[in-house]
Structure 1
Amino acid sequence: MFFRWYSARLAARPLLTQSVTTAVLFATGDITAQQLVQKRGFENHDLTRTGRMALYGGFVFGPAATTWFGFLSRNVNVRNKRLETVARVACDQLIFAPVMIGVFLSSMATMEGASAKERLDKTYWPALSTNWMVWPFVQMINFTFLPLQHRVLFANVISIGWNSYLSWVNSQ
């Protein structure tokens, strides 16, 4: 029932639906980081931090990922489907991931009133290198088995754990 409702929203307003979904799941990732990883307890939960993650997910990452996946689908096309998947993953990991990790870290620093340069100097390479240990495999699955309209949702569900990591890295 939920999946049918979600698919209808996705068909009617894809960018809005993917952006709202991303905001909710980015917030979920931060809640996971604070409660399960950092074990802060609900009385010490930083709601502002969760709000920043939701804001970034909904207004930056959701629209960017939706647009990016559409771009890859339209422009990276090869007759050999396995090679096409590898080419899309390579583009994703060598173009999109490095840019978006930088955008994430600098956006969070700016929203926190901290130095974006210092945050990037301290956390960019560890975050990107960890990304490359996780996301190529995830995107191989995503680009091989999921239709375009469900790729952002799949990435966002996997991102609950990834965003927990990014939220934790960002807070260090």
Structure 2
Amino acid sequence: MLRWYQARLAARPLLTQAVTTSVLFGVGDVVAQQLVEKKGLEKHELARTGRMALYGGTIFGPAAATWFRFLQRNVNFKSANATILARVACDQGLFAPTFIGVFLSSMAVLEGVSPKEKLEKYYANALKTNYMVWPFVQLVNFKLVPLDHRLLFVNVISIAWNSYLSYLNSS
């Protein structure tokens, strides 16, 4: 399976990362609905899963893939550890706050509700929770994971994170 993924990644990197992100964002929503909320299959909201998958594949996947390449090219110091810490700081200081807002706003638009209200209600809590999880994940990511697999690593961890975001967004 990894060999197949590697071949797809080599041939069409952005498309492969976008599709992978879409699928795993959808999986995160299914986990939220079935394991966290315990809705059961008859009450599963397919439109909600579709919104998560759409956001993951069209917005987050391409943006995160581009972001990781940007950090790799532009955030470099003589010390490897300083480079890693600087990349985590950039990721958590710039990307995370921006994309939590983009996520909540996108979901609001797709749901036909007010982005302003959704941001006021959920943004601070989501960002605070982000800071309890993602700095540590990104330290491992930037230290141990090759560039081409960083988004996949984030996407696998994001199954749980997206379950949280989906639950938060729909509560």
TM over 0.5: yes
Partner secondary structure for residue 39 of structure 1: coil
Q: For 2:92 and 2:11, how far apart are their aligned partners in 1?
A: 30
What residue ranges of structure 2 are gaps of 5+ in the alignment? Answer: none
RMSD (CA atoms): 0.3
Show CA shifts across 1:44-100 (max 9, x none): 000000000000000000000000000000000011111110000000000000000
Letter in 1 for 2:111: E
TM-score in terms of structure 1 length = 0.99
Pairing 1:1-172 to 2, within 5 Å after superposition? 2-172=1-171
Q: Distance in 1 between matches of 2:162 and 2:13?
A: 22
Inter-partner Cα distance in structure 2 for 1:148 and 1:17:
14
Distance 2:20 2:53 in 1: 10
Tell me the distance in 2 between the aligned counterparts of 1:156 and 1:69.
13
CA distance in 1, matches of 2:95, 2:44: 31
TM-score, with length taken from structure 2: 1.00
Deviations 1:107-162 (A, max 9, x none): 00110000000000000000001000000000000000010000000000000000
Distance in 2 between residues matched to 1:124 and 1:141, nearest whole Å: 25
Q: Deviations over 1:15-47 (max 9, x none)?
A: 000000000000000000000000000000000
User: 2: CA distance between counterparts of 1:11 and 1:141?
Assistant: 23
State how far apart, in whole Å, the 2-side matches of 1:78 and 1:146 are: 18
Distance 1:42 1:85 in 2: 43
Unaligned runs of 5+ in 1: none
- Percent of aligned positions with the same letter in both sequences? 67
Paired with 2:51 and 2:118, the residues of 1 have a C-alpha distance of 16
Aligned length: 171
Runs of 4+ in 1 over 6 A off after TM superposition: none
